[in-house]
């Protein structure tokens, strides 16, 4: 056999037989490679024995003829050939087998990440878990816990604006961030992040930020204007420092603050941490030395009221200034330095905006009908917006100025 192994013609026949056998072998994994090697060695031994028998029986020509009868035919260049399907390789997202030497590696699929992107229509008609509201003031009437929404509302609660989608917890899938408001008297706000659990149920991931409600103090977050996605999974919230109520004007500043999820809660990660002086909060006063009413020849009473309006704030008033004069409805008034709004009670007299640390004096002529003089006079002053709503004052409990009324 040693002579046969060294014969070049025999070696060529052995290689041909090996290549022919290899076409039908599909290795899979390390164990399969070992099986293939053993099979090739067996085929080579069988081939060698067959060639040796042919040489003994029919000589080298018989062996060459046998080899040619099993050689693959040449394939045209423009013809697609079928090839064995390669063994599947683990994907980048699938964990590899812990035993690389296993003859049949098995890769289990990773747990799917819940898709926390909840459509606006679904969110507006879902049962959501709402964290507790402040425990003081009107907010005690705001629903908390599991609350069912219908078309974005549930009693005093409402979902505001369009939801924002952001991967806040870095799990590869977005969560849903939205504003929830409660409107007992005025509006209070929460910015909440919602996700889904493994079963697809909507869950509250956490509270991004919330207003302090009716129990808040100057400098607290009292209004939420809007929300948007920030960088690197963070959330940006437009917050304000004033909570309007009733007939008051919205005086909040706009301040963007950034919040991020730390694995347990949302914390502020960027933006201002406090509010500066608010130019929409006024410090106005109205003073008058007194009102003297004199009886006229026709029996009516007439007097002149001189009122000084002073702006002690460091900012010009955010709008024109309205002076309210509380006198009996039967009285009439004319004014110099302001415009009287007739037909309302108490009388209203509107001045242009007043500069910072400045004052303006107006003069009103008041006439009372004949008869017994029912004398009373009180003054209020406030800056107003285009709708007539009053801007807040630094002293929210500032009362009316009482003007003494005397007869001449």
DSSP track, 358-396: EEEEEEEEEEE-SSS-----EEEEEEB-TTSPBPPBS-T
Number of helices and strands in the chain (H, E): 5, 22
Q: Model confidence at 27, in pLDDT bands (50, 70, 90)?
A: very low
What does residue 282 show for φ and ψ, rounded to 5 degrees?
A: -95, 170
pLDDT in the model for residue 41: 46
Q: How many CA atoms lie within 13 A of 155 on its CB side?
A: 10
Contact call for residues 325 and 305 (beta carbons, < 8 A) = yes
Kindly state whether residues 242 and 333 are assigned to the same domain.
no
Choose between 76 and 40: higher pLDDT: 40
Helical axes 60-70 vs 29-57, angle rounded to 10°? 140
If asked whether residues 294 and 257 sit together in one domain, one would say no
Nearest of 184, 144, 402, 395 to residue 290 by alpha carbon: 402
Residues 325 and 239 in one domain: no
Q: Check residue 48 and give its pLDDT.
A: 44
CB–CB of 227/238 below 8 Å? yes
For the residues 301-308, what does the mean pLDDT come to? Answer: 96
Q: Report pLDDT digits (tens) over 43-73.
A: 544 444 433 443 344 443 333 333 333 333 3
The CATH number for 336's domain is 2.60.40.290
Q: Is residue 290 part of a domain?
A: yes
Residue 100, pLDDT > 90, answer: no
Residue 398's pLDDT is: 86
Among 213, 237, 270, the domain-final residue is: 270
Residues 268-284 have a mean pLDDT of 96
Residue 9 has what pLDDT?
56
Indicate the range of 55-59, 136-140, 152-156, 371-375 predicted with least confidence.
55-59
Q: Per this entry, what is the length of the chain?
A: 408
Q: What is the pLDDT of residue 21?
A: 46
Stated as kind and residue range, the H or E segment containing 294 is strand 291-295
What is the four-CA torsion angle of 137, 139, 144, 149, rounded to 10 degrees? Answer: 160
Confidence of residue 397 (pLDDT cuts 50, 70, 90): confident
pLDDT at 112: 73
SS3 state at 336: strand
Band of pLDDT at residue 347, cut at 50, 70 and 90: confident
Confidence of residue 376 (pLDDT cuts 50, 70, 90): confident
Same domain, 344 and 309: yes
Distance of CA 166 to the CA centre of its chain: 7
The arithmetic mean of pLDDT across residues 368-378, rounded, is: 89
**Distances, alpha carbon 112 to alpha carbons 90, 116, 123, 279, 317, in Å:** 17, 12, 22, 51, 57
Are 134 and 265 part of one and the same domain? yes
**Are 293 and 234 found together in one domain?**
no
Q: Classify residue 94: in a domain, yes or no.
A: no
Band (91; pLDDT cuts 50, 70, 90): very low
What integer is the mean pLDDT of 88-117? 47
Does the residue 78 lie in any domain? no
pLDDT > 90 fraction of the chain, expressed in percent and rounded:
60
The token pair that represents 407 in the structure block: 């007869």
Instruction: Classify residue 98: in a domain, yes or no.
Output: no
* Higher-confidence position of 83 and 168: 168
Q: What is the pLDDT of residues 164-213, one digit of tens each?
A: 999 999 999 999 999 999 998 889 999 999 999 999 999 999 999 999 98
- 106: tokens are 């098995």
For residues 126 and 217, membership in a common domain is answered with yes
Q: Give yes or no: residues 156 and 259 share one domain.
A: yes
Encode pLDDT of 105-131 as tens digits.
444 444 577 889 999 999 999 999 999
**Mean pLDDT estimate for the chain:** 79
Question: 240, 270, 300 — which closes off a domain?
Answer: 270
H or E element in which residue 63 lies: helix 60-70
The answer to whether residues 264 and 288 belong to one domain is no
Residue 351 domain-assigned (yes or no)? yes
Query: What H or E segment, with its residue span, contains residue 176?
Result: strand 175-182
Q: What is the pLDDT of residue 54?
A: 39
Overall number of domains in the chain: 3
**Are residues 146 and 261 located together in one domain of the fold?**
yes
Rg (C-alpha) for the chain, rounded Å, is 45
Do the Cβ atoms of 228 and 257 come closer than 8 Å?
Answer: no
At 217 the pLDDT is 85
Instruction: Provide the pLDDT for residue 374.
Output: 79
Domain range for 334:
284-407
User: Cβ distance 133 to 187 under 8 Å?
Assistant: no
What's the pLDDT at 7? 56
Q: How confident is the model at residue 377 (pLDDT cuts 50, 70, 90)?
A: very high
pTM flag (> 0.75): no
Alpha carbon distance 35, 279 (integer Å): 85
| Nearest in space to 211 (alpha carbons), one of 245, 246, 165 | 245
Q: Does residue 84 form part of some domain?
A: no
Same domain, 373 and 399: yes
In a domain, 145, yes or no: yes
**pLDDT recorded at residue 111:** 57
Last residue of a domain, one of 235, 270, 305: 270
Please report whether residue 90 resides in a domain: no
Same domain, 300 and 236: no
Are 257 and 268 within 8 A, CB to CB? Answer: yes
């Amino acid at each position: 056999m040693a002579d046969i192994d060294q014969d070049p013609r025999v070696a060529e026949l052995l290689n041909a037989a090996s290549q022919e056998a290899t076409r039908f072998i599909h290795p899979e994994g390390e164990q399969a490679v070992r099986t293939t090697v053993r099979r090739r060695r067996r085929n080579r031994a069988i081939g060698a024995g067959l060639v040796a028998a042919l040489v003994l029986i029919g000589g080298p020509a018989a062996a060459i003829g046998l080899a040619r009868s099993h050689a693959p035919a040449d394939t045209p260049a423009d013809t697609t050939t079928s090839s064995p399907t390669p063994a599947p390789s683990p994907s980048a997202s699938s964990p590899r087998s812990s035993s690389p030497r296993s003859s049949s590696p098995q890769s289990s699929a990773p747990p799917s990440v819940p898709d926390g992107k909840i459509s606006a229509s679904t969110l507006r008609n879902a049962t959501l878990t709402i964290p507790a509201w402040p425990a003081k003031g009107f907010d005690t009437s705001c629903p908390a816990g599991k609350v069912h929404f219908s078309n974005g509302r549930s009693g005093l609660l409402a979902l505001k604006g369009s939801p924002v989608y952001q991967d806040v917890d870095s799990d590869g899938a977005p969560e849903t961030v939205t504003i929830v408001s409660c409107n007992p008297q005025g509006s209070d706000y929460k910015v909440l992040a919602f996700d889904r659990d493994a079963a697809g149920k909507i869950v509250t991931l956490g509270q991004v930020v919330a207003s302090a409600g009716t129990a808040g103090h100057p400098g607290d977050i009292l209004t939420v204007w809007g929300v948007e996605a920030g960088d690197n999974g963070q959330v940006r919230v437009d917050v304000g420092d004033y909570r309007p109520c009733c007939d008051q004007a919205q005086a909040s500043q706009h301040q963007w603050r950034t919040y991020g999820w730390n694995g347990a809660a949302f914390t502020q990660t960027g933006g201002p941490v406090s509010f500066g002086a608010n130019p929409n909060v006024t410090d106005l006063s109205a003073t008058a030395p007194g009102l003297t009413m004199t009886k006229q020849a026709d029996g009516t009473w007439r007097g002149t009221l001189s009122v000084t309006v002073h702006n002690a704030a460091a900012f010009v008033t955010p709008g024109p200034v309205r002076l309210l004069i509380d006198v009996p409805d039967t009285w009439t008034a004319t004014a110099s330095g302001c415009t009287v709004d007739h037909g309302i009670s108490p009388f209203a007299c509107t001045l242009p905006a007043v500069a910072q640390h400045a004052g303006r004096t107006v003069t009103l002529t008041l006439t009372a009908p004949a008869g017994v003089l029912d004398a009373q006079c009180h003054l209020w002053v406030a800056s107003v917006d285009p709708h007539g709503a009053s801007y807040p004052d630094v002293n929210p409990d500032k009362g009316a100025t009482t003007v003494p009324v005397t007869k001449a």
